[in-house]
Amino acid sequence: MPDPILVGVTRTVRLRIAEGADPLAIRAIASTQVEWAKAIRFYTDLFLEHPDVYEEKKTVRARRGEEREVSWTGKDLLTWAERVTVRTEDHPTVLHDFSEVCPQMPVTLRRAAINAASGAVASHLTNHKLWEMADPATRGREPRPPDPHPNVTLYGGMYHLDVDRLRKGSCCLKVLSGGRWRWIDVPLQMPPYALDLFTRSEAEQARIAAERAGQNARMADERRERRTSEEKERLRASPGVWVAQSPTLVAKPDGFYLHVPFEKRVEVKGKAEERRLKEPTLKVGTIDLNADSAVAAAWEGERCIGVETVWHAQENAKRERTLRKVARKQKASGTPVKGERSNRALWAYVRNLDASLAWQIAARIVAWAVTLGLQVLVFEHLRPYRPERGLSWSRRTNRKRSYWLRGQVLRHVRDLALREGILVVERNPAWTSQACPACHRLAERLSPSGVGYPSRLHCGHCAWSGDANVAAALNLKLKWDRTFRYPTAAERKAAEPRRAGNGGAAVNPEQVPAAG
């Protein structure tokens, strides 16, 4: 079995500052955001004025004694920025005095602003360099300088999110109030699972702090400065435990939020392809995403141990009805005016419907995979959307958003599955819903009623008959095993008449009602 790999994953818990908070506290939080934006702008302009600092080098000595030159790190950029903007006894003369822009700003918040600004400017300079090197005929618009981000990153010394305070439904923040930086208590609204996450995180952080103190004492006794690899590993979070990181203060139309990222190390038992070759009984799930459902098949080696269908046809119909309403209202109001947005409420409904549906489908797929103990999930590689001719605007737009939804589901499944140590891979979707899963020859797609979408698959060679989406999920297992039999040119040519017209439906003339 391949050696396990520890992979870091992240999730974000959103804590809302309650509506019943003191208005003075809300104004202080808003003032803090304004001060943060001023600090970011100050240091962004500083780094844009001196782009050569990103080319600076320093000499470092490796453990074996050799010396080499490396670029400045983020810590070096932070040191330089403070040296040229903050007056001290060691450097009383500065290029630009930061205290004139943001007097009395806490050191941790100032350093957070420097780090944010240096990273944004480094990204801008890289993009601008690539733009200059690109073909002038195709490179597009010149990259704009970075703008200050209003979200405030709160490092240690700017917040208290301990469990005792959270049990009382509050937290403590250091904000700008009345021209001074003060600590204030603000009420919070939390999801029901947040307190358990913070409790486990606080216990793990206490363990790491105790381990660090013990290591420091041993290093002092042994008169050594560097930690061993084993000591460094013990200072990292234990695998499977979520640990809270520095939160971010975010302003939204409905109020202020604290976005708290949690990190966890997950053990993955090797790469997917290596495990496929070395583990014949590997538990794998194959998923076929469609416009109205997601069909998943679970496998243990060559044995299928279950098939699950996640239906969302009702939501697909709701979206199309809403888009028809948009089309009717737009037709009644005339040609849209450039620069003005119409039907905002309807479009917001469609966006929220799709965003919620994507998470729901992804969560159900991952929960199903965890229940069956699957270790790899195989999806079809999504192709670009190609609109069909002759469709109305509402149907074409609905299909386009359906394609977007499948991409979002795949993205969310990757995120949620990795948190459980499950890998996600993709395979070529060609012929998966048209080949017989029993004899692997091309079969006939048909509609049970003789009209409409051809949802069934019937094989004329072995008489297998079933849902085309289920057949696609079964054939994906062959794609995963690299044993899928692709049709020959003669078979494709013979099957072309059956696949032509009506979206690929093969119409049974006996089931078509007579005209009149």
User: Do the Cβ atoms of 262 and 12 come closer than 8 Å?
Assistant: yes
Of 398, 279, 282, the C-alpha closest to 350 is 398
Report whether pLDDT(514) > 90: no
Least confident of 21-25, 247-251, 473-477: 21-25
DSSP string, 26-81: HHHHHHHHHHHHHHHHHHHHHHHH-GGGGG-EEEEE-TTS-EEEEE--HHHHHHHH
Please state the rounded mean pLDDT for residues 289-313.
94
Q: What are phi and psi of 288, to 5 degrees?
A: -110, 115
What is residue 91's predicted lDDT score, i.e. its pLDDT? 85
d(C-alpha 85, C-alpha 111), whole Å: 12
Rounded CA separation 105/36 (Å): 9
Mean pLDDT, rounded, for 12-41: 92
Q: What is the mean pLDDT of residues 380-385?
A: 86
Position with higher pLDDT, 308 vs 333? 308
| Span 300-329, average pLDDT | 94
Confidence of residue 1 (pLDDT cuts 50, 70, 90): low
Going from the N-terminus, what domains does the chain have, and what CATH number goes with each?
A: 5-250 (no CATH), 271-315+351-511 (3.30.420.140)
Rounded Cα–Cα distance for residues 465 and 442 (Å): 12
CA dist 153 → 27, 182, 421 (Å): 18, 17, 30
Give the tens place of pLDDT for each residue, 169-209.
Answer: 999 999 999 889 999 999 999 999 999 999 999 999 999 99
Q: Which of 45-49, 137-141, 252-256, 496-500 has the lowest mean pLDDT?
A: 496-500
Segment among 43-47, 439-443, 445-449 with least mean pLDDT: 445-449
500 pLDDT tier (thresholds 50, 70, 90): very low
User: For the chain, how big is the Rg over CA atoms in Å?
Assistant: 29
Residue 5 has pLDDT above 90, yes or no: no
Count, residues in the chain: 516
What angle (nearest 5°) sits at the alpha carbon of residue 58, between those of residues 228 and 70? 70
Query: Across residues 299-303, what is the average pLDDT?
Result: 94
pLDDT of residue 382: 84
Which pLDDT belongs to residue 312? 94
Strand 67-71 to 293-300 pairing: unpaired
Please report which confidence band the pLDDT of residue 391 belongs to, taking 50, 70 and 90 as the band edges.
Answer: confident
Q: Tell me phi and psi for residue 279, to 5 degrees.
A: -120, 100
Q: What is the pLDDT of residue 498?
A: 56
What pLDDT is recorded for position 501? 44
Is pLDDT at 334 greater than 70 in this prediction? yes
Asked whether the predicted pLDDT for residue 395 surpasses 70, the reply is yes
What pLDDT score was predicted for residue 505?
A: 39
Q: Chain-centre distance of CA 503, in angstroms?
A: 34
Residue 242's Cβ-count burial label (10 Å; 0-12, 13-18, 19+) is: buried
pLDDT-derived band of residue 497, with 50, 70 and 90 as boundaries? low
Mean pLDDT of the chain: 90
Among residues 463, 473, 466, the alpha carbon closest in space to that of 432 is found at 473
Rounded Cα–Cα distance for residues 57 and 48 (Å): 18
pLDDT, residue 336, reads 75
Give the least confident one: 63-72, 165-174, 421-430, 439-448: 63-72
- Dist. CA 357–CA 353, nearest whole Å: 6
Is the pLDDT reported for residue 511 higher than 80?
Answer: no
Q: What is the pLDDT of residue 506?
A: 40
Q: Are strands 152-153 and 159-160 parallel, antiparallel or unpaired?
A: unpaired
Residue-level pLDDT at 30: 93
For position 333, what pLDDT does the model report?
84
pLDDT at residue 499 in the model = 53
| 76-106 tens-digit pLDDT | 999 999 999 999 988 889 999 999 999 999 9
In degrees and rounded to multiples of 5, residue 450 shows phi and psi of 90, -15
